[in-house]
């Protein structure tokens, strides 16, 4: 039997919802009927998005939080449960990128920061939602890895590559642990996607040169990645877990 893309009554938490792919995924899930918690360290961006989506008639709520800290993550989860009584979908999109400084030049603080946001944040959010998700016997977790996690990063440093590779292992291991609860866990591995993260790391010239090296000859869009996320959290993807999905215009074919 085929299913419609209908997330009515589903409750989703999206981290990094204030920008880029997290924002695009939040919009698409809300358009498809989900109740979406828009979470980000940047309050202003999610409050603006909340207003935009509520004005369009969608059911969303902005809750600020820094994914590095258990207290803040638990607060997002507790507030979500107090409003909606359940959590069905978690999109771990919050992330940061630091430039490709040589390994001998990266200081420990910067290493920890990248690992804490990208990897520990994914762990803390998953850990916090899982007890609630398990009660529903249905759940979807999407982790943002990257082409960097499958190969190496052209834009970020070794800390970025390491964090994104670790997310792939985290995804597989968690998928095995929670499959019995009807929860699937998958990773997306975007190539260069036109978002604030890239615009603030590369100049126009560099972006153009990169685009030429991609078989599809351009950067990806955040909407294209949101469509993949939307599919993976739908009932249509019920037999997919522990997998990682390349979405990179053919940049990496392995
Ligand atoms: N843009 C790309 O080319 C690309 C490619 C592959 C993977 N990714 C990954 O995709 C995800 C989304 O990237 P994007 O390009 O949309 O980036 P973006 O910079 O546009 O958005 C990231 C969001 O995460 C938020 N954030 C940062 N630190 C946080 C923290 N500690 N707690 C909560 N929120 C925090 C930021 O405020 C921002 O709103 C990231 O994990 C990124 O590493 C991006």
CA of 54 to the centre of ligand 1 (A): 23
Residue 236's pLDDT band (cuts 50, 70, 90): very high
Tell me the domains of the chain and their CATH numbers.
11-191+222-247 (3.40.50.720)
What is the per-residue DSSP string for 67-136? TT-HHHHHHHHHHHHHHHS---EEEE----------GGG--HHHHHHHHIIIIIHHHHHHHHHHHHHHHH
Instruction: Pick the atom of ligand 1 nearest to 92's CA.
Output: 41
Ligand 1: residue whose CA is nearest its atom 8: 146
Strands 60-64 and 35-40: parallel
Ligand 1: residue whose CA is nearest its atom 14: 20
Q: Which residues line ligand 1 (CB under 6 A)?
A: 15-16, 18-22, 40-42, 45, 66-68, 93-97, 117, 121, 144, 146, 190, 192-193, 195-198
* pTM (2 d.p.): 0.97
pLDDT in tens, 78-102: 999 999 999 999 999 999 999 888 9
Would you state the pLDDT for residue 4? 57
Average pLDDT, the chain: 96
Average pLDDT rounded to a whole number, residues 92-115: 95
Would you state the pLDDT for residue 1? 53
Average pLDDT rounded to a whole number, residues 13-31: 98
pLDDT in tens, 131-182: 999 999 999 999 999 999 999 998 999 999 999 999 999 999 999 999 999 9
pLDDT at 6 over 90: no
| C-alpha–C-alpha distance, residues 191 and 174, integer Å | 24
pLDDT in tens, 174-224: 999 999 999 999 999 999 999 999 999 999 999 999 999 999 999 999 999
CA of 40 to the centre of ligand 1 (A): 10
Would you state the pLDDT for residue 8? 85
pLDDT at 2 over 70: no
């Amino acid at each position: 039997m085929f299913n419609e893309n209908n997330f009515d009554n589903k409750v989703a938490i999206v981290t990094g919802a204030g920008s880029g792919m997290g924002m695009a995924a939040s919009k698409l899930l809300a358009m498809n009927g989900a109740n979406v918690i828009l979470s980000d360290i940047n309050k202003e961006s999610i409050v603006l998005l909340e207003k935009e989506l509520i004005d369009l008639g969608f059911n969303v709520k902005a809750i600020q939080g820094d994914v590095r800290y258990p207290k803040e993550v638990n607060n997002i989860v507790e507030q979500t449960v107090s409003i909606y009584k359940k959590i069905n979908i978690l999109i771990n999109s919050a992330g940061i990128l630091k430039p490709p400084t040589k390994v001998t030049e990266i200081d420990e603080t910067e290493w920890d920061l990248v690992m804490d946001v990208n990897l520990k944040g994914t762990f803390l959010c998953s850990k916090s939602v899982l007890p609630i998700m398990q009660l529903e016997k249905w759940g979807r977790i999407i982790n943002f890895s990257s082409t960097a996690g499958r190969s190496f990063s052209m834009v970020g440093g070794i800390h970025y590559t390491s964090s994104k590779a670790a997310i792939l292992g985290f995804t597989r291991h968690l998928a095995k642990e929670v499959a019995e609860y009807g929860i699937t866990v998958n990773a997306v591995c975007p190539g260069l996607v036109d978002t604030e993260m890239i615009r603030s790391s590369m100049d126009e010239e560099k972006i153009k040169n990169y685009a030429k090296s991609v078989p599809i000859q351009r950067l990806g869009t955040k909407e294209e990645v949101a469509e993949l996320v939307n599919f993976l959290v739908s009932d249509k993807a019920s037999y997919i877990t522990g997998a990682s999905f390349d979405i990179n215009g053919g940049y990496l074919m392995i």
